[in-house]
Amino acid sequence: MVDIEIEIDGSVVHGHSGESIISIADREGIDIPRFCYHKKLSVAANCRMCLVDVEGNPKPQPACSTPASAGMRVHTNNEKAKASQKAVMEFLLINHPLDCPICDQGGECELQDVAMEYGSDVSKFNEGKRIVADKGIGALIQTDMTRCIHCTRCVRFGAEVAGIVEMGATGRGEELKIEPFLSEGIQSELSGNMIDVCPVGALTSKPFRYEVRSWQMNSVESVARHDLVGSNIFTQTHKGKVKRVVARDNESVNETWISDRDRFSYEGLTNENRALTPKIKVKGEWQEVSWEAALEAATSGIKKNSAEAFGALASKNATLEELYLLQKLTRGLGSENLDTRLDVANPSSTSALETTISLAELEAIDHALIVNSYLRLEQPMINHRIRKATLNGAKVSTVNSLTFDFNYRVANSVLSAPQNTLATLSGVLKALLEANSLALPDYLKDTKVDQAQIDIASTLSAAENAVVVLGEQVNSNPCADQVAKLVTQIAKASNSKTLNASATGNTLAAEKVSFKPNGGLNAAQMFTANLNTFVLLDVYPTYDCVDSTAAIEDLSRDDAFVVAINSFEDESVLGFADVILPLASFYETSGTHINIENVAQSYGASVKAAGDSKPGWKVLKVLADLLELPGFDYTDSPQVADDALSLSPNVATSEVDIIAMEVPNIATVWQYTPYASDVLTRHAQSLQQTQIGQISEAVVSAATAKILELSQGDCYKGVPVNINETVAEGCVFVHTNQARQR
């Protein structure tokens, strides 16, 4: 890239040779009107709004597609440029309905804004306007295609970013329509970004439809905490309610996109199942009481029992502050029984894998080995970065128990049930070591290597910037620690980086404050140790616990006193809890999220907590005070965050041995759809209505189904059985939005 000087509107500006005029102008703060141009999408040059006068050219040139060259003299607002821009504006408006008063885009519409400067007061168009019939495209995006100006941003977003060719321009001339090719709607975990890129009211947010005018809302900077990225967002609020969530640019985190989960989960905040008032259970009956009474009941219940019989369980999505205070409270009481890993088959064997790659670096990889993950749905923004790399030629290999619909081509795909995953990865590792003539550790001596494993190994060897990703499904594997060790060894042998996506949400905050037992009981052990006191922080055992039935039975024991600091109430919580302290949910509390790059992002509350609920850090601080524990003299949450962030977690480096596993012949992999991954999303109605939200199937091969005596349409652990051959032999892959059953 050569630095060049060009002149725009008389001032000398700098750019790179070949850079578009509009990109230089944008950097220099020179305003050029545009509709089809979007910095993250390919150039289309079809709206013609950015026509500018380039000296030496008889015709005006589009600033978006004209590369700058040294000495070029550009006029963005002389008579010639203005005439062209006004001409295009006039054409865009003739068939636009101008129904701004009833259009949700009103007030934030690019067409409206640009028309203010370039449009005319009176239209010369006296013919009938074009009307376009809408095809519904699902529960999230509202279409009003009569308003469409055919800029194709949504089409390009779909094809280039989301990797789905579902929106297209059909017909020609005036009959050109932007519509889905199929009438099944847009099935993408990133579809909501189409709303953001649409410059007009053709694509708007369906849940937000007719809620409130855009200018009546406050935009509050916040951070989404559903996944490992912590996408930057604006929560847009009106009268104390979150009305909409939109993306906030942060190039190093989420660029300019957010996932649908981050965008639409806010709907759950107003769900009828929210816990809104403090409650205590008196003789089996719930009584709504004051905060003082509820806290008093909680305190005296906790004080009754010994510290050894106290256990704390927290959600992975809790804030850093909440996790810090709850662990401090637990440890202050003298207990080491605390955990967030409720969904892990064997919490004493967690996947200790360090993440050694940044989000930006993911775009530069040339190979990704994805182990035990449907990354596309689990971590949409991480998957998006990998997809970008594949567009530049990166190859992807997978070791999974089900064939997933990735939005890029998978070069090597190995199906492997959990009980065979160690053998598969051992084969890959052995092939790698042998190819590089490295010494084999003992545990690989008897390992057999097949061609598929050699293929993965040779792709890894050939790559210069590879990454090995370990995903959530490893949690269904009782030997997750061994899988993680093999992944580490594979990365070491192939000089690859690693990315641990096995636990989501704010897991790294839990790591930071050591929210796991150091000598005490882990999540699974707590339910078999006859503990007398439990404090739950936004935990819902029906969904969150691997063996939900056992967990609920244990929590329901007569001698178990359960304090649920929860944002939602469900039947099981109401069944086993003794005190419910209503918790402020996402966006209702200040907090801190630590993302995959170990970046701590703090945010304030966007709205006041619903009902009588209170931010978790306040509840825990007061509870600790009432328990007369020292060190809780906090007056605001940043003080808590400061203390939490100053901790250096004790990294337990226990040696993991690769040993023969004790696993069932037929394993179950339990994977939630992205819209059942946490309590807020589970209560967001629109997300539940999407095709992704409604996935619920137990996929099993014909041979395995025969052993289990299952047939198509039966239920396996409450989930409908789907027999096909996309799944590894010897396992049932449950992909569902339903609560866990035995």
Partner 1 sequence: MNEVCFKNIDKENPSSLATYEATGGYSVWRKILHGELSPEAILGELKTSGLRGRGGAGFPTGLKWSFMPRNQDGQKYVVCNSDEGEPGTCKDRDILRFNPHSVIEGMAIAGYVMGATVGYNYIRGEFMEPYYRFEEALKEAYDAGLLGCDIGDSEVNFDLHTHLGAGAYICGEETALLESLEGKKGQPRFKPPFPANVGLYGMPTTINNTESFASVPDILARGGQWFADLGVPNSGGCKLFSVTGHVTKPANFEIPMGTPFSELLEMAGGLREGRTLKAVIPGGSSTPVLPAEDAMKMTMDYDSIEQVGSMLGAGSVIVMDDTTCMVAALTRLAHFYYDESCGQCTPCREGTGWMYRVLKRIMDGQGKMQDLDLLTSVQDKIMGNTICALGDAAAMPVESFIRHFRDEFEYYIKHGKSMVTKVNSDG
- Interface with partner 1 by CB under 8 A: which residues? 43-49, 51, 58-60, 62, 65-67, 84, 87-88, 90-92, 94-95, 124-125, 127, 149-150, 169, 171-176
Nearer to partner 1, 169 or 411 (CB): 169
Residue 31 Cβ, how far from partner 1 at the closest point, in Å? 19
Q: Which residues contact 662 (CB under 8 A, 6 or more apart)?
A: 478
Nearer to partner 1, 46 or 346 (CB): 46
Nearer to partner 1, 53 or 227 (CB): 53
Phi-psi region of 727 (alpha: psi -120 to 50; beta: other; left: phi over 0): beta
The answer to whether 624 and 633 are in contact (CB under 8 A) is no
Nearer to partner 1, 113 or 725 (CB): 113
Nearer to partner 1, 49 or 345 (CB): 49
Pairing of strands 667-672, 719-723: unpaired
The HSE-up count of residue 132 (CA atoms within 13 Å, CB side) is: 24
Residue 109 Cβ, how far from partner 1 at the closest point, in Å? 17
Residue 204 Cβ, how far from partner 1 at the closest point, in Å? 22
Task: Spell out where 171-284 has E strands.
Answer: 177-180, 203-205, 218-223, 232-238, 241-247, 279-282
Within a 10 A sphere around the Cβ of 423, how many other Cβ atoms? 17
DSSP per-residue letters across 381-435:
HHHHHHHHHHHTT-EEEEEESB----SS--SEEEE--HHHHHHHHHHHHHHHHHH
**Helix (H, G, I), strand (E, B), or coil: what is residue 571?**
helix
Residue 154 Cβ, how far from partner 1 at the closest point, in Å? 15
Residue 60 Cβ, how far from partner 1 at the closest point, in Å? 7
The answer to whether 637 and 617 are in contact (CB under 8 A) is yes
Residue 20 Cβ, how far from partner 1 at the closest point, in Å? 11
Residue 87 Cβ, how far from partner 1 at the closest point, in Å? 3
CA-to-CA separations, 404 to 384, 391, 471, 472, 724, in angstroms, rounded: 15, 19, 13, 14, 13
Residue 255 Cβ, how far from partner 1 at the closest point, in Å? 25
Residue 387 Cβ, how far from partner 1 at the closest point, in Å? 21
Residue 293 parent element (H or E): helix 291-304
Termini Cα distance of the chain: 61
Nearer to partner 1, 59 or 445 (CB): 59
Nearer to partner 1, 18 or 334 (CB): 18
Nearer to partner 1, 81 or 275 (CB): 81
Residue 725 Cβ, how far from partner 1 at the closest point, in Å? 32
Nearer to partner 1, 83 or 659 (CB): 83
The HSE-up count of residue 468 (CA atoms within 13 Å, CB side) is: 28
Residue 196 Cβ, how far from partner 1 at the closest point, in Å? 22
CA distance 11 to 22: 15
Residue 91 Cβ, how far from partner 1 at the closest point, in Å? 4
DSSP per-residue letters across 439-493:
PPPGGGTT----HHHHHHHHHHHH-SSEEEEE-GGGGG-TTHHHHHHHHHHHHHH
Nearer to partner 1, 24 or 139 (CB): 24
**Residue 126, burial from CB neighbour count under 10 angstroms (0-12, 13-18, 19+):** exposed
CA-to-CA separations, 675 to 50, 121, 432, 596, 737, in angstroms, rounded: 40, 47, 38, 20, 7
Nearer to partner 1, 111 or 623 (CB): 111
Nearer to partner 1, 168 or 332 (CB): 168
Q: Which residue has the tokens 């400067």?
A: 117
3-state secondary structure string across 83-144: HHHHHHHHHHHHCCCCCHHHCCCCCCCHHHHHHHHHCCCCCCCCCCCCCCCCCCCCCCEEEC
